[in-house]
Structure 1
Amino acid sequence: MKKIILLVLVFVFAFNTNVFASYTETREYSIMGGAYYEIDTALENYTYDTVKVTLYSKGPIGQLDSVFSTTVNVGPGLGPFNFYVGYLTHTKYVLKFEFQGNSGAIGPTQLQQVY
């Protein structure tokens, strides 16, 4: 009887952790000179979802410091998004997309210099 209860609890716990899991994707970029930049991307999802977009600067030993962050709602389908980031200096950057749900897709994405 104890084994059955334990198996049921393990199954319920495993199911709950999957329901609340999120989908994350990252991209890395190197900036060669200081300038003003924006993020140009396309986000896709099959249902309505919330996506957190965060840009980190990457330090010499790999530490990440948040430079820019925003949250957007993505509807069914593919949509273009532009986010003004501001002035970026010469260093490496990590762009992280966190979908609240467990699926999603990122289209062509770049850090585009703004003139």
Structure 2
Amino acid sequence: MSNVPALEIHELRKIYATGVEALKGVSLSVQPGDFFALLGHRGAGKWTLIGIVSSLVNASSGSVKVFGVDIDTNREAAMRLLGLVPQEVNFNFFEKPTDPINYTAVRIQLASPER
């Protein structure tokens, strides 16, 4: 088994345009096969951290690697290794089952053949 962490975050910081510092140098490493829970009070930066890891939010500084692939230098390859299940799913009952999947694929800029 490889020693490459499934998720490696180093000194991740996020300061929003409003001046709010949502992340203040977060570092962590999650090994393949580990169970990991991200807990914290409202406003602790959980969503911001997940947003940066899934490349929906830009970090102010720091690095994120998914199985050794840096999301800043090789975003497309990193996103192929990552799955994200939102907490709340709001389906439109008149949509086809593939519509929410395609919407998410477009949002993360996944090329058409890979959807």
Calculate the TM-score normalised by the size of structure 2: 0.32
Higher strand share: 1
Higher helix share: 2
Q: Whose radius of gyration is greater, 1 or 2?
A: 1
Higher relative contact order (CA 8 A, sep 6+): 1
Calculate the TM-score normalised by the size of structure 1: 0.32
